[in-house]
């Protein structure tokens, strides 16, 4: 059985997330906010990270802040949710790898220059 489900909060927000139930709260992993938009072509549904600036995409929500939640969503919705979470995570990991690689490269250049290269070396 899938643990992906939908959560409706007292704030009115609707979330898709991987859900684990506890007595006093539920734990949401990779929660995404479901956004509905009406366009000239009809309704469009999109998702966005709920914890936009969090380093870790897991949060515990007290049960008194939850109107309802249900395990299991329509198969197509679950596929799109999983694809979104995986692609966003891959993109974040790639960005972090590039940043760290740049830092290490810059540090190696500085270290090489500071090792006692030519006395005429200028660092800009």
Provide the H-helix boundaries in 1-124: 75-114
- Which CATH number do you get for residue 47? 2.30.30.100
Asked, for residue 89, whether it belongs to a domain, the answer is no
The total domain count for the chain is 1
Asked, for residue 101, whether it belongs to a domain, the answer is no
Q: What tokens appear for 4 in the block?
A: 């992906």
> Of the candidates 4, 22, 3, 36, which has an alpha carbon nearest to the alpha carbon of residue 66?
22
Asked, for residue 67, whether it belongs to a domain, the answer is yes
pLDDT by position in tens, the chain (length 124): 568 999 999 999 999 999 999 999 999 999 999 988 888 888 888 888 898 888 889 999 999 999 999 988 888 888 888 888 888 665 665 555 566 666 666 666 666 666 765 555 556 5
Domain of residue 58, residue span: 4-81
Asked, for residue 116, whether it belongs to a domain, the answer is no
Asked, for residue 35, whether it belongs to a domain, the answer is yes
Q: What tokens appear for 26 in the block?
A: 């539920």
Q: What tokens appear for 79 in the block?
A: 């596929």
Asked, for residue 41, whether it belongs to a domain, the answer is yes
């Amino acid at each position: 059985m899938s643990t992906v489900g939908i959560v409706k909060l007292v704030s009115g927000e609707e979330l898709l997330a991987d859900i684990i139930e506890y007595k006093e709260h539920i734990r949401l992993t990779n929660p995404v906010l479901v956004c509905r938009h009406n366009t000239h072509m009809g309704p469009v549904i999109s998702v966005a990270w709920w914890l936009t600036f969090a380093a870790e995409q897991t949060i515990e929500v007290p049960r008194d802040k939850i109107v309802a939640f249900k395990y299991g969503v329509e198969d197509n919705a679950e596929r799109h949710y999983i694809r979104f979470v995986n692609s966003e995570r891959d993109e974040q990991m790639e960005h972090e790898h590039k940043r760290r690689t740049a830092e290490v490269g810059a540090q190696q250049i500085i270290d090489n220059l500071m090792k006692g290269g030519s006395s005429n070396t200028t660092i800009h």
